[in-house]
Amino acid sequence: MHSPELLKGTLQTILLKVLKDHGRMYGYEITQRVKELSESQLLLTEGALYPALHKLEAEGILKTETVMIGKRVRKYYSLTSTGRSLAKDRVEELVDFIKTMSNVLQVKLA
Amino acid sequence: MHSPELLKGTLQTILLKVLKDHGRMYGYEITQRVKELSESQLLLTEGALYPALHKLEAEGILKTETVMIGKRVRKYYSLTSTGRSLAKDRVEELVDFIKTMSNVLQVKLA
DNA sequence: GTCTAATACCTAAATCTCTTAGGCAATAAG
DNA sequence: CTTATTGCCTAAGAGATTTAGGTATTAGAC
């Protein structure tokens, strides 16, 4: 597992990216998908995830639908059109940042 | 310029890396070197830099020598042996994190 | 000569994100 | 029937960084 320090500032971009690719997801599903993509290296904590989702919703970047599964509530998040545009920008920005970091660390990434 | 959000958590590793490669550097020199390596994409702020250097010194990871240049003080930082070991670990960790992020973002880095 | 930009160090309050540590409840598996 | 997993959530505290100062020397432009 990575020291969570490094994760700071990247959570929002990760959320936008997986929602961009999957269309509609609920919180728990996102944690599982990120775990899968990262080969268990990135484990999103709920204390970070839900506030981040709520913030993005409040900003009009995400929209939600609530669905009942049996007696259980499931809340789906998806990108608004604003969100789709932002997702693209944020991912580009993070990719760019990663490249810059690689230069600073003077490492080649296969 | 990158949104400084992304920089969070990486500053310490950057400092250890440049000091590892240059042996002995002073604060201002570090900011210039990082600016150069990042092609002006990463501009370290002094309000982040100096507290970080002082913390690393307090922890025995860095040691200092103060030199007078004319009437001006210049404070050189270099890695202790503990610091050299830590530098290696931290750089590996960050490289690994970058690779994980690339997987999550599903991008290939040339 | 004087004014500005660059060099060079520093601190402190406020901000922002995330961790930690809870709470609540339904369902599956043993 | 008891535990692990699914599934939502909040709030206090920690920690890193930004913002916004402060001080002073030196080099260069006009």
Q: B99 in a domain, yes or no?
A: yes
Q: A64 in a domain, yes or no?
A: yes
Q: Nearest CA to CA, how far is A44 from chain B (Å)?
A: 12
Query: Is the model's pLDDT at A54 over the cut of 50?
Result: yes
Q: A110 in a domain, yes or no?
A: no
Question: What is the mean pLDDT of the segment spanning A19-28?
Answer: 96
Q: Indicate the residue of A10, A34, A106 with minimum beta-carbon distance to B6.
A: A10
Query: Is the model's pLDDT at A63 over the cut of 80?
Result: yes
* Domain count along chain A: 1
Q: A72 in a domain, yes or no?
A: yes
Q: Nearest CA to CA, how far is B29 from chain A (Å)?
A: 15
Q: A50 in a domain, yes or no?
A: yes
pLDDT digits (tens, 9 = 90+) for B1-21: 554 556 678 999 999 999 999
Domain coverage including residue B100: 4-105
Q: B13 in a domain, yes or no?
A: yes
Q: A28 in a domain, yes or no?
A: yes
A105 neighbourhood in chain B, CB within 8 Å: 13-14, 17, 91, 94-95
Q: Indicate the residue of B91, B97, B103 with minimum beta-carbon distance to A2.
A: B97
Q: B110 in a domain, yes or no?
A: no
Mention every residue, 6+ apart, whose C-beta is less than 8 A from residue A103.
B37, B38, B39
Predicted local confidence at residue A107, as pLDDT: 87
- pTM for the full model? 0.90
CATH number, domain of A30, equals 1.10.10.10
